Amino acid sequence: MELELNEEQRQFRDLIRQFTNREVRPVAREMEQSGTYPTRIVELMAEMGLFGLTVPTEFGGLGADTITLALVFEELSRGWMGIAGMIGSHGMACKLIAQHGTEAQRDLYLRELASGRRRSGLALTEPDAGSDLQGIKTVARLQGDHYVVSGTKTWITNARHSDPLPVLVKTDPDASPAHSGMSILLVAADTPGLLVTRDLGKLGYKGPETCEVVLDDAVVPAENLLGGIEGKGMSQAISGLQTGRVNIAARGVGVAHRALEEALSYTQEREAFGRPVADFQAVQMRLADMATKVQAARSLTWWAADRLDRGADAATESAMAKLFASEVALEASMESMRLHGGYGYSTEFEVERLYRDAPMMVIGEGTNDILRTVITKGLRNNGIPES
């Protein structure tokens, strides 16, 4: 691959960068601290077509390639990582419906999802099942022409605004292996028995709501079974994970890049012993290491994205990208805070927010320790990836 953007990708990146600099950066810290929902930003993103990133063009979406997706998530995360999360969860749901939905489901949902008139998320995680999705306890029992669904989902982004909300369930709780009895239901917002019970407090990743969702004998029409065939839910969910990991990796790159920007600016302006802090060799070494790792994380992310765009299996590459980029985000935000000294600990400076946002990338879309096992499995089965 060529690690260089084509003209269309470069122009799109510049458009998102301008939007972020104009509409997101000036308000992010204040809105995050006050807990204000970013309604205007969401409306502007809808006008730009960003809710249709993963929707095919035939349904009014952008049908963007994976590298372009990475560019969007990076640029938005340089302004406010939470905003990127709104698009990320929505985009995953759109991709599931586009790839696996019936013709009727695609016709019903995708155009409105692309425009932002509808929004969505993805309800996989449960209080006792995160990385081990086969351990979910939410059950859907078919009764005539509808399912009765009971269970609890947690850490669900966009939960209060999702219509429909794709929910991973067990349609055959006795199946062995367990994944063969799992399905995804598209649950409408007005479904009887669907309750968004509370917003979960978080260290960072603020802006989008992250909620607990209870399905209390929720009645879901059988026609809302994704793809129309039971037992496909696990494979459907996994099919989107490689793109999801590129999404998280790109967010990590965005947070790390912003941390580097803030550190470079501050150390050039701040003086100690009569000269800029950036003149000291110890500071220069830290800045050099940060910059090198940020660029390495970006290149790794684009490499994984390019593999997906070529139609290749990128389980190992996307896991590598997510693992490395998220760790770089964590390290860069900490280094930037240290270079800011006491000001890095102040809520008046951007770096403390970056420091609180970074851990989400280490945990989300598969914890990094789980991904290490995914990478090792890929090495043992397929050898060391070279291109």
287-305 burial code (b ≥16 CB/10 A, e <16): beebbebbbebbebbbbbb
The answer, yes or no, to whether residue 2 has pLDDT greater than 80, is no
Domain assignment of residue 19, yes or no: yes
Do both 255 and 376 map to the same domain? yes
Across 138-142, 257-261, 346-350, least confident range: 346-350
Domain assignment of residue 1, yes or no: no
Give the Cα separation of 96 and 354 in Å (integer): 30
Q: Where are the beta strands (DSSP E) in the chain?
A: 139-143, 146-157, 165-170, 182-187, 194-199, 210-221, 271-272, 275-276
Number of domains in the chain: 3
Domain assignment of residue 344, yes or no: yes
**Domain that residue 190 falls in:** 133-231
- Beta pairing class for 182-187 and 165-170: antiparallel
What average pLDDT does range 369-382 have in this prediction?
95
In the listed set 174, 196, 231, which residue is the last one of a domain according to the structure? Answer: 231
In this predicted structure, what is the pLDDT of residue 386?
83
CATH, residue 265: 1.20.140.10
Domain assignment of residue 251, yes or no: yes
> Cβ(56)–Cβ(125) under 8 Å?
no
pTM, whole model, 2 decimals?
0.94
Assess whether 365 carries a catalytic annotation.
yes
Domain assignment of residue 189, yes or no: yes
Provide the 3-class DSSP secondary structure of residue 257. helix
Of residues 238 and 304, more confidence is placed in: 304
Cross-strand bridge partners of residue 186: 166
Displacement of CA 191 from its chain's centroid (Å):
26
Over the stretch 35-90, which tens digit does the pLDDT of each residue have? 899 999 999 999 999 999 999 999 999 999 999 999 999 999 999 999 999 999 99
CATH, residue 77: 1.10.540.10
Over the stretch 86-108, which tens digit does the pLDDT of each residue have? 999 999 999 999 999 999 999 99
Give the Cα separation of 51 and 92 in Å (integer): 11
> Cβ(70)–Cβ(107) under 8 Å?
no
The answer, yes or no, to whether residue 300 has pLDDT greater than 90, is yes
**Is cis: bond before 221, omega within 30 of 0?**
no
Q: Residue 241: pLDDT band by 50, 70, 90 thresholds?
A: confident
Q: Which of 30, 209, 365, 386 is catalytic?
A: 365
Give the position of tokens 């050039």. Answer: 268
Q: Residue 207: pLDDT band by 50, 70, 90 thresholds?
A: confident
